[in-house]
Amino acid sequence: MRIKPHDIKRLLTTMTMSAIVAIAAMAQADAALSHFWLSPSYYNPAAAGNLNAIHLNLGSRMQWVDFKNAPMTFYLTADMPYKLLEQRIGLGVKAEYERMGLFTGTRIGVQLAYKRKIGKSTLSIGVQPGVFSETFRAKEANTPTKEPDDAIPEQDVSGTTFDANVGVFFSHPKFWAGFAVTHVSAPSFELKISRESEGKVWEYQVSRGYYFAGGGNIPINNTLFEIQPSVMLAAYKKAWTAQVATMLRYNRMLNVGVGYRWKDAVTAYIGVNLKDAYIGYAYDYPVSAISKVTMGSHEVFVTYNVKLNNREKNKNKQKSVRLM
């Protein structure tokens, strides 16, 4: 017996408030990162290999912390440039673990970016093939009735499918911009008790996401201060959102800033540059109706660059409008 996608939605609506979080998540499989301007390769594989370094990002987002079974995301991205047949490319990997309501998702992908130098700028085209695994924790479901319902699995069910992201990325010493499409094929899962199971199958589909992001670096003349504005627009099947952030950096070390996510939250940032590392924290204060049940969201971000040897003329000149 095959249970259609609308049955999964009906399943969620029969659950307690903790499972309602998963309904919103069905339209958006990607985390809404406040540090989007520091981790473009999370959404866009074309950003891989943009620095002359092994670039490591580690982030954690705890959303709506007072809310039971609220979204929780941990992710790692790592990338580096590489020369193949005298052509510069970017290589990277992305791994993510996410809990949202009664759903648990794991995503792993490899990134490949083709890069073309245009004057002082670089244009990149990237792809990220990978696998997407999803589990529905039926044993934790809190239903109002004990009567059997075909839409509700009696045991935990899971499935794995192929997934892919694509994107383009343009970087200049003073600004950057990129466009990406995540979950290009809008993959559909067959959630089963086990791979060998021939019983009921529940279907779960991931919505395709469209992302545009950009930012820059504006030095304030005759001071040690710089302003770093950034913006991201995101669209899904039946929803869209936008967020902006503005950071003030002092002496290339201390970073403070504010941001806003459309009809969702106001964000406060603080971060410190420590030579080849950056440590940042963001707090989102909700401005939507969810503020009645939570005081906000927390996000921690750490990045580290392992510089690579470069025999070319300007081997020590490495610049990023986001980090350097």
> How confident is the model over 56-67, as pLDDT tens digits?
999 999 998 887
Residue 24: its pLDDT value, please?
41
The rounded distance, in Å, linking the Cα atoms of 314 and 283 is 39
* Whole-number pLDDT of residue 66: 80
- Assigned domain for 319 exists: no
Structural domains in the chain (count)? 1
CATH number of the structural domain spanning residue 11:
2.40.160.40
Q: What are the tens digits of pLDDT across the range 13-23? A: 333 333 334 33
Residue 322 belongs to some domain of the structure: no
**Could you tell me the residue range of the domain that residue 142 belongs to?**
2-307
Q: Positive or negative CA dihedral for 246, 249, 253, 257?
A: negative
On whether residue 195 sits in a domain, the answer given is: yes
Structural domain includes residue 317: no
Residue 25's pLDDT is: 41
Residue 255 belongs to some domain of the structure = yes
CB 146 within 8 A of CB 107: no
CB 90 within 8 A of CB 48: yes
- Does residue 320 form part of some domain? no
Give pLDDT < 50 ranges for the chain: 1-27, 311-318, 324
Q: Tell me what pLDDT residue 19 has.
A: 38
Within a domain: 282: yes
Whether residue 318 lies inside any domain: the answer is no
